[in-house]
Structure 1
């Protein structure tokens, strides 16, 4: 059978240096059993259930409220998932691809100084969806200066660029406090991969490119590096998230905090936001675990495309930056939806 879509869409910026091309076409759904899931019995299902409950009430679809009520009363998470869901493999023409993302930590100040001179901007009031807006170059050259839009000032333009790619972060201030910021909007331009730009210029081959490699190159070549950043016209604006405590993750596309190694970003055209997803990521650091689809991203396109949230800070960033792996992911659908697919397959 073919599927044309399962949910709505939202935006959170993520890094994908050379995401596979995507065009709409046939999508095939295949009903599996839990015995088909590699490593299913060994996972900590109770961890996944807690993350699932964190955003369950925001899942769209009439099948979900009853499932969420039952979930809140469960004492055996593995049994709950096996009783009320069925695994469904959704595939399109593209190969599976897993990447990683994280919440950056930057150094900053609430006032501009010689060291802290790169602004983190809030969403301008004159930014409307129907009109073109300033490009990254325009903004970098001062188009928004003097409007009082600065949330803070940071000391590194490269880290600021990657903060925008990730879509949320923390800024450690000179007075010892920390502010949390999250995605508020963007300037309306599509993201252009600067990693792919370096590959096209012959600076690096595809297997050499990572976030850290890009950062190091820009710092070694400050003039050319700034021009490289300007080749991505997209620009992200932020808002303070003072309601978040230090232990909470950043806010995902479902307006709830996401959880390291249990939350993933997906394409909501194929996977309902909030749904459990069984991840079988291969590569040097394979993953076999149940995750929750709580985020989206402008580069996350396709039925088998996902971004794994690795956490906060430099260590998480290093781990996330190494991930570009194959594998597969299997959606857990409420039984009535899954059996509906099976009946359509039989007709």
Structure 2
């Protein structure tokens, strides 16, 4: 597999903000990937960044301490990686958004207050691919169900909200607010403060297969929120003002997420995500996993975005993915857990230049050939 022509080599001196970023903050995230990859190697993305090319960098990272000095971390990345600018498709600018881990109250049982279930993966949900996908299903479907001896589309959000899965014992927990549940679906994980005094974490397990539709775009098309003002906060505020229209809007997004419980892990870190490691706030990046290879370091330059009083120019590690994260120059920054992180994540919608740090071993192999 050849390395994609979308990668254009540059030097570290031409990487905006490289010399001023605290790159040591990203090293623990990379090191966690190094240990995970030793147990189960990551899959190579379609852009040709071979997972095997990380072997040397992973071995060195595992031999180092989790916390390293700034110059040690900088030398590590510069020794093992070469920066490449990712050319956005059709000349369009790259785009970055933010996400977080909601923290909500939940009950292990449903009652008069806790009426909204979060479901585990149903046993009749099956994985499909291009080899066994029925011709009447859209090629984007990765899940379906077997009915009458053939694969058909799984129940969508409206059908499930109306009880398609009721009575099957699939409830992981119950929430008091269906808008909270919907945004947990959007984030793909949550930290749950249970009514019995315990804390639980849940993360993505599977989805219904239906294409994702962003309700912010729906509200903009309906003229309810100006497109330039669509954020998580303005969407929540609109839903709170229009409770009689919640079903109408949420059901536009037919995709439905199923969850699994995951170990609580380190409390200062985020949930275990698609790369099977806990996320690092501000340093973990969700990318298109079909295109990119997990553990790839990315340097994101979003000069119009500021979360600490300076233009957002940071080294991050590809450790997650999402239905809305498509295209090479597209990423979603994990901002942390709880309401404060959500307030920051919800307003991140900015143009950005994406740079991938690719293993020098890949260069020695002749650019992946």
TM range (shorter): 0.7 to 0.9
Greater shift in the superposed pair: 252-261 or 50-59? 50-59
Q: Deviations over 1:188-213 (max 9, x none)?
A: 11111111111111111101211121
TM-score of the aligned structures, taking structure 1 as reference length = 0.87
- Tell whether the 8 Å contact from 1:253 to 1:295 is kept in structure 2 after alignment: yes
97, 115, 118: which is aligned to 2:95? Answer: 97
Q: Which moved more, 1:235-244 or 1:312-321?
A: 235-244
1:296-315 deviations in Å (ceiling 9; x for gaps): 11111112111000000111
In the alignment, what sits opposite 1:70?
60
- What's 2:110 paired with? 112
2:24 matched to 1:34?
A: no
Q: CA RMSD in A?
A: 1.9
Does residue 68 of structure 2 align to residue 43 of structure 1? no
Unaligned runs of 5+ in 2: 44-50, 127-142, 146-152
Q: Write the distance in 2 (CA, Å) between the matches of 1:214 and 1:234.
A: 18
Is 1:188 the counterpart of 2:232 in the alignment? no
1:216 aligns with 2:237: yes
Q: Does 1:84 pair with 2:109?
A: no
Q: What does 1:129-278 align with in structure 2 at a 5 Å threshold? A: 129-131=143-145, 132-278=153-299
| Paired residues for 1:293-308 under 5 Å | 293-308=318-333
Superposed displacement of residue 281, structure 1: 1.5
Structure 1 partner of 2:130: none
* Secondary structure, aligned partner of 2:254: coil
Report what 2:356 is aligned to. Answer: 331
Note if contact 1:110-1:151 (Cα within 8 Å) is conserved in structure 2.
Answer: yes
> What do residues 78-97 of structure 1 show as CA deviations (whole Å, max 9, x unaligned)?
11111221101121323210
Secondary structure class of the residue paired with 1:40: coil
User: In 1, Cα distance between the equivalents of 2:368 and 2:329?
Assistant: 23
CA distance in 1, matches of 2:7, 2:348: 26
Tell me, yes or no, if the aligned pair for 1:31 and 1:338 is still in contact at 8 Å.
Answer: no
Query: Which residue, 311, 314, 320 being the options, matches 2:345?
Result: 320
Deviations 1:139-188 (A, max 9, x none): 11111111111111101100100100110001112222211101111111
- Does the 8 Å CA contact 1:109/1:152 hold for their aligned counterparts? yes
* Aligned mates of 1:101, 1:209 — CA distance in 2: 15
Give the secondary-structure state (helix, strand or coil) at the position aligned to 1:116.
coil
| In 1, Cα distance between equivalents of 2:289 and 2:16 | 24
| CA distance in 2 between partners of 1:201 and 1:316 (Å) | 29
Conserved? CA contact 2:119–2:172, under 8 Å: yes
Report the CA distance between 1:246 and its aligned residue: 2.6
Q: Which one is further off, 242-251 or 177-186?
A: 242-251
CA separation of 1:219 and 1:303: change in aligned 2, threshold 3 A: same
3-state SS, counterpart of residue 223 of structure 1: helix
Is residue 265–residue 308 contact of structure 1 (8 Å, CA) maintained in 2? yes
Q: Kindly state the Cα deviation for residue 115 of structure 1 after the two structures are TM-superposed.
A: 1.2
State the 1:340 CA deviation. Answer: 5.7
Q: Where do 5+ consecutive residues of structure 1 fail to align?
A: 5-26
Change (3 A) 1:118 1:36: same
Answer whether contact 1:263 1:293 (CA < 8 A) is retained. yes
Give the whole-Å Cα distance in 2 for the aligned partners of 1:137 and 1:343.
45
CA deviation map 1:60-116 (0-9, x unaligned): 522211221123345611111112211011213232101000000111111112111
SS of 2:344 mapped into structure 1: helix
Contact 1:271 1:331 in 2 (8 A): no
